[in-house]
Amino acid sequence: MEAAAIANLSQLVDDSFAQAMEVLAACKGRIVISGIGKSAIIAQKIVATLNSTGSPAIFLHAADAIHGDLGMVQAEDVVIIISKSGESPEIKVLVPLIRNFGNPIMALVGNTNSYLARNAAYVFNTTVDQEACPNNLAPTTSTTAQMVMGDAIAVCLMRQKGFRMEDFAKLHPGGALGKKLYLRVSDLLHDNEKPQVPETATLKEVIVEMTQKRMGVTAVVNDANHLAGVITDGDLRRMLERNGMEQITASDIMTRHPKVIGPNQLAVNALDLMRQYAITNLAVVEDGQYVGMIHLHDLVKEGLI
C-alpha cells in the first residue's frame, strides 16, 4: 500500500507544486515547517534534509506555537504546515495566526478540501487511499507519502539553487561521508615519507631507500624531479627472478608511466584508481613534479574503506 501511494504521488504534482517551489527558492528567510503528532516527526525529518541541502529551515511544533514558540517565525520566512486531515484543532488555531503575520502558508496535506488546504496559498497534495495499518488508523501510508513529498521539495530546491557536491561537503564535514567529499590527496601526504631515487641509482640504493621509507615502493625521478617511474617490492622480486644484481640501475627495474594523481584531487578518487588497477600505492605529481607517495593504508586509516 505504501509503495502504491508513493507511485501515485507523481500524479499529484501540479501547478501549485511548481508555484510553491518558485516561492521557496526565492525565500530570503527560512522555511518553517510545522505539524502535530506523527506529522510533526515527519516535519523534523524534512527540516533536517533541507538544512543539509542548502535551504535553511526550522521546526515549529503546532501545539507549542500557540504557547510562545510562534516568536520563531520571522518576516521573510515561508511556513509549511503538515497534516493528513488538515482539520486538527491545533492547526485551525495556528493558521490564522500565521496569516496575520503575513507569511506565505503552504499546506502539505492529505485532504485538499480541508480547512488547512482552503486557507493555504499553495498545496502539496499527499492524498492516500488508506493507511497500511490493518485498522486504517495508525499513520503509516500517509506519513510515508509526507516524507517522500518532503524529499521531492528538497531535491527541487537543490536543483533550483544549483547546490553542488562542494556545497554538500561544507555541510557534512563529519564521518566517512564528509571525508569522501572534502579529504584531498594533499591531506594524506604530510604524514608520509617521500621515497625517491634517481634513474642512475644502484640496486642497493633502491633497496635501502625502500627499506628506510617503509612504503613498499619508491619513485624514480630524473634530474628535473619529474617522475620517470616507480619501483615496487614486486618489481624487485621479478627482476631477481630474471637477472643477477650486478650493474642494474633503477631505470632498468622501474615501471614506466605509472598511475599518478594530483595533490588537489579528492582522496576518494585515489581509492577508485587503486581499486581499478589493483595497486596499493599512488605517486602524487603536481605540474610534472613528484611531490610524494600515498598508500592504501592511508585511505584505510581515514575511514574511506
**What element of type H or E holds 261?**
strand 260-261
Beta bridge partners of 147: none
271 vs 103: CA distance, rounded Å: 49
Cβ 204 vs Cβ 278: under 8 Å: no
* C-alpha dihedral, 103 to 108 to 110 to 113, nearest 10°: 30
Position of cell 495499518? Answer: 133
Q: Is 151 annotated as a binding residue?
A: no
Q: Is 61 annotated as a binding residue?
A: yes
Q: Is 67 annotated as a binding residue?
A: yes
Cα-based distances in Å from 172 to 147, 167, 183, 237: 21, 9, 12, 44
269: cell is 578518487
Q: Would you list which residues are annotated within the binding site?
A: 61, 67, 200, 252
Q: Which residues are annotated as a binding site for Zn(2+)?
A: 61
Residue ranges of the binding site for substrate: 61, 67, 200, 252
